[in-house]
A and B are shown apart, each in its own frame.
Chain A
Amino acid sequence: MEGMLHTLHEFMVYTKGITYILIVLALFGITGFWLFLTGGDEEKK
């Protein structure tokens, strides 16, 4: 993939594109993780 990026613009579009996708996945992931982490509290109630 490195060889395909010739300009700063291409680099930024590519890296930001991947990063934004990761951030969306992370938001879903951390919500799920919070539910997992606090799952014990709910079971106790």
Chain B
Amino acid sequence: MSEESTTTSRSYLTPFNMIAGIIIILGLIVTALRFTKGLATVTNLSDYNPWGIWIGFDLMVGVALAAGGYVTSAAVYLFGMKKYHSAVRPAILTGFLGYALVVLALHYDVGRPWRLPYPFIVQQGTTSLLFEVAACVALYLTVLFLEFSPAALEWLGLKKVRRLAIRFTLILTIFGVILSTLHQSSLGALFLIAPSKLHPLWYSSYLPIYFFISSIIAGLSMVIFEGTLAHRYYAHKMDSAHMEEKDHVALGFGKAASFVLAGYLITKVIGISAGNHWHLLGTGYGIWYLVELLGFVGLPCFLYALGVREKNLVLIRWTAVLTVIGVVLNRLNISLIAFNWHLPSSERYFPHWMEIVISAFIVTIGLVAYRFIVSRMPIFYEHPDYKESH
């Protein structure tokens, strides 16, 4: 530890810090432009394309990839798979940061942040899907904050409050699963209102089911992916239990992801059949759809299974990366690429560079916050004062 503290003062100018610093400075400048000059100055949004990457990437992808929190806590606390316990805190942390950044990104798109509570106190649109998404995301962010709080309270040494927070673990997990089921599917259901805008291969009355199932896949794969990165960069922070369980987590979650991917592939094929869209598979969009379906659903499904059978952890970890890319691609296809597919190219949306800066800014804030928390709080190890309390 003493060696670490002596190197801290001279380690500020690392490549990560420098790149993160530049992105944050640029992000702050664009933020000032966004909230003083409006959307038109910093985005390519239009009446045809009211949702850009701040919704398609930051929100849709962010919510899907933050699903590791509810998937892991449900596996451990609801299904009793205690052997994955070491994966809970990192997954909850990623989920909490993911959702917090989703809400931050939403401010950029919606504007006028002081009106964020309006869905609850002003308008009465309780039949709206957006109301449901807003309510679930607000409640689930609160749930994630409470689920994450024991780690922060242990760090702060607030034992009594921590003891109180830990009592709510089971009920919070149940809330988390219910709220996630609701809003993950509702994000897909948002597109049910636009059958004429979304390409028929991606449009389906099963969209809510697709979004929910793929969120489970994203959650499982993200836990494997971030576990791999954490092991690479924060191995010195991990205790023996964490080191011992990491391979079990990759194998168990890989097996689950493989089976869920198989189910997802089947429901996608049934969706094509129910809409009788077979003939569209031969078109340009059809080939792109097949790339997504076979390359980023079918292939990872098989590779996960192969990795699990042969206990090949390297294959499982690379498959997790492929699967995460697949979920990102799926959300971008639905919200941007296959959306407004019939419009001439001059009317199609391509993000303004300042939109990309804001997205990078938000991801960077997440990475910096993650680094800050895992460097200080007991995320990859059990705090010595509370080892007996699990």
Contact = CB atoms under 8 A, between A and B. Distances in A.
Interface of A: 1-2, 5, 11, 14-16, 18-19, 22-23, 26, 29-30, 33-34, 36-40
A37 B259 contact: yes
A35 to B, nearest CB: 11
B270 A19 contact: yes
A18 B279 contact: no
Contacts of A14: 276
A18 B305 contact: no
A18 B279 CA distance: 14
B133 to A, nearest CB: 30
Given A15-B275, A33-B262, A23 B305 contact: no
B357 to A, nearest CB: 43
Nearest to B278: A1
Given A1-B279, A29-B266, A30-B263, A40 B308 contact: yes
A40 B309 contact: yes
A33 B265 CA distance: 12
Contacts of A2: 276, 279
Q: Is the interface of A mostly helix, strand, loop or mixed?
A: helix
A15 B259 CA distance: 26
B273 interface: yes
Contacts of A33: 259, 262, 305
Contacts of B269: 22, 26
Interface string B240-271: 00000000000000010011001100100110
Closest 3 CB pairs of A and B: A40-B309, A26-B266, A19-B273
Given A15-B275, A33-B305, A40 B311 contact: yes
